[in-house]
Structure 1
Amino acid sequence: MVDVGNKLNLVLEDKDTLHLKVTRVIRNAILRGEFQPGERLVQEELAQALKVSRMPVREALHKLESEGLVILEPHRGAIVKKVDVEDLDEIYYLRSQLEKMAVELSVPRMTLDDIAKLEELLQRMEGIDDVERFVEANIEFHKLLVKYCAWKRLLNFIETLWNGLPQQTPHFLEGQLEISNREHREIVEAVKVKDSAKAGQLLSEHILRTGRELMKKIRLKGSI
């Protein structure tokens, strides 16, 4: 049996169910390159390494398949998927359109407390040079922007597109933190005056710009 224990670290967080914790750990290991494209993920090995039953591992692998990080093949199980530029093109374009819609629906209902929280998150990101902490604040920032969108299916689509590589983009693009902070600041200024159309458009441009840079890097290097 291949020793995968040193690739995985199950950090418990009360807010997550077990299968979501397992999903997060395996996802991060894939994105860090600890599991390579084409590598087989064996449920029994993962369960043993994480000290959980096979059920949360099975659920996690199905979730990662929906995110485009693994492929579930009959009789072979889960295979780590190679990053596909065409997939990324689709993901970032869909995000740019769907999140724009969600922000336009959400901004009119945002409170002064919400705007203060956006400011707080922005200041936190502007003062961070640790990528992991930036990613955490960035996820919270984007979720707050669409918090009041009443279209639950739309939010579910966005969540699926967000999980996986898009969350981790700051790890792969040089200068991404500084550029994102400038773009985030412009979005917050639009939210402050309740200009939902402008906030949505700025967010859409932010997502498309990030997607273009990521795909350019992959085409040049052949990987992230």
Structure 2
Amino acid sequence: MKRSHLRLHDRSTLLERVVSRLREAILRREFQPGERLVQEELAEAMGVSRMPVREALRQLEKEGLVTLEPHKGAIVTPVTSDDIEEIYYLRSVLEAIAVERSLPHLTDDDKRMLGQLVEEMEQAVKREDAEQFIAKNAEFHRLIRKGCRWRRAHMILEMLWHGFPPHTPGMLPGQMERSQAEHKEMLELIESGDAKRLSEVIRKHILRTGEAFKEHLAQDE
């Protein structure tokens, strides 16, 4: 099967782009669960060497999207509705706690940076620049929970952030706009020091995204 639509025309940050393109193709069911991903075919389709494809498949294995099997190579792992529900529910609970505990310890510089990130995300929305929005969104979420002193909470959240959660703005129609409106509300609560309300808003923000992602995959199927 021809995969010419996968071809990459911009070689900057090559590995990240290969990972992103393959991740999106898997989540959009362009590759079916159980399908074998052949490095040579993917490299040719993308117009890259085998090395970034090989590294990308290793990264996708860490994210749970492929399984690397001896003598078979990479096999697409099914992403189920239960997987999405589990990841987003756990994130919503733990991140809400982390943010509530973090807010009293955020500095004025942290708050200024959060304001700057919200502005940069606003510009990304206007330009329809999903990659920039994704990068700034990840920075925003990490910074907003920075002040939480629970290191295990940070470790678990980083694990839950691996894979598709950061990339939903590039996959769900209207997600950047909805998320940005919620980010602005979060910023107002940070500036007012309302940790309880901030915790509730971020919990709903994550759960809403999870539900939207489940609906999106169901439509693709």
TM range (shorter): 0.7 to 0.9
Q: CA deviation at 1:207?
A: 0.4
Report Cα offsets for 1:58-112 as digits up to 9, x if no partner. xx65553342211233442321223321111111111101111211221111011
- SS of residue matched to 2:146: coil
Residue identity in the other structure for 1:175: G
* 1:1-224 to 2 correspondences below 5 Å: 6=7, 11-12=12-13, 22=15, 24-33=16-25, 36-37=31-32, 38-41=34-37, 50=49, 52=51, 57=55, 61=57, 63-128=59-124, 129-222=128-221
- SS of residue matched to 1:147: coil
Name the CA distance, whole Å, in 2 between partners of 1:44 and 1:220. 31
Count of matched residue positions in the alignment of Structure 1 and Structure 2? 209
Residue identity in the other structure for 2:19: R
Which residue number corresponds to residue 17 of structure 1? none
Larger deviation, residues 3-12 vs 102-111: 3-12
Name the CA distance, whole Å, in 1 between partners of 2:191 and 2:43. 47
Gaps of 5+ in 1: 13-20
Answer yes or no: is the 8 Å Cα contact 1:8–1:50 preserved in 2.
no
Residue identity in the other structure for 1:192: E
Name the CA distance, whole Å, in 2 between partners of 1:151 and 1:50. 42
Name the CA distance, whole Å, in 2 between partners of 1:181 and 1:130. 13
Name the CA distance, whole Å, in 1 between partners of 2:52 and 2:119. 41
Answer yes or no: is the 8 Å Cα contact 2:189–2:195 preserved in 1.
yes
Answer yes or no: is the 8 Å Cα contact 2:36–2:74 preserved in 1.
yes
Answer yes or no: is the 8 Å Cα contact 2:19–2:59 preserved in 1.
no
Name the CA distance, whole Å, in 2 between partners of 1:36 and 1:202. 35
With normalisation by structure 1, the TM-score equals 0.78
Give the RMSD, CA atoms, in angstroms.
Answer: 3.1
Change (3 A) 1:61 1:220: closer
Answer yes or no: is the 8 Å Cα contact 1:170–1:177 preserved in 2.
yes
Answer yes or no: is the 8 Å Cα contact 1:106–1:148 preserved in 2.
yes
Gaps of 5+ in 2: none
Change (3 A) 1:39 1:120: same
Residue identity in the other structure for 2:153: L
Change (3 A) 1:135 1:155: same
